[in-house]
Amino acid sequence: MQCPHCESLDNKVVDSRLSQEGAVIRRRRECLKCERRFTTYERVEEMSPMVIKKDGRREHLDRQKILAGLKKACEKRPISVDTLDAVATRIEKKLQENGETEISSRAIGEAVMAELYRLDQVAYVRFASVYREFKDLNQFMSELKGLLDRDPSNADDRAARPLTVKEGGSSTKASA
Ligand SMILES: [Zn+2]
């Protein structure tokens, strides 16, 4: 790190502390040439992938949008905003840790469904019915029945199991 005063590259760290809940390390450095002090910050490189939308446009991964989707699905359900906030963070982290530079909006939908499945099945069906665009009420009912038939003790194992319903086409949006 170059000294901002004399441009020397030789310096020593005199103090180092975490800030912003561990996301940033702040270092006080002392230049070995001019002996003046300066501060540097170190943080993890922003790794958020770009989201490719259905129409091909790209936008930044937006945690607020994920949270808004969760809130909508969980309307009038006994789930605290804090819980949804934690879920949104978990989804965002998972998508970042995949290390992809671009992801489809579909991947976000799948991640949200996997979390909702574990969290609240009414919210899950509500989200899935809109997201999956069930073609008719029968499809929706069979998914609902599938949920009711499943053994809750196995819920975690099945959370990521994909539904058989295909995306797209005309839809009759059923509300749960
Ligand atoms: Zn210096």
CA of 30 to the centre of ligand 1 (A): 8
Average pLDDT on 121-145 reads: 74
CA of 62 to the centre of ligand 1 (A): 41
CA of 45 to the centre of ligand 1 (A): 27
Instruction: Please list, in sequence order, all residues whose beta carbon lies within 8 angstroms of the beta carbon of residue 134, skipping any fewer than 6 positions away.
Output: 128, 140, 143, 165, 171, 172, 173, 174
Percent of the chain whose pLDDT exceeds 70:
76
The pTM assigned to this predicted structure is: 0.54
Residue 122 or 136, more confident: 122
Domain ranges of the chain: 11-43, 50-158
CA of 27 to the centre of ligand 1 (A): 16
CA of 18 to the centre of ligand 1 (A): 24
**pLDDT reading at 50 higher than 70:** yes
CA of 2 to the centre of ligand 1 (A): 8
Question: For the chain, what is the largest distance between any 2 Cα atoms, rounded to a whole number of angstroms?
Answer: 77
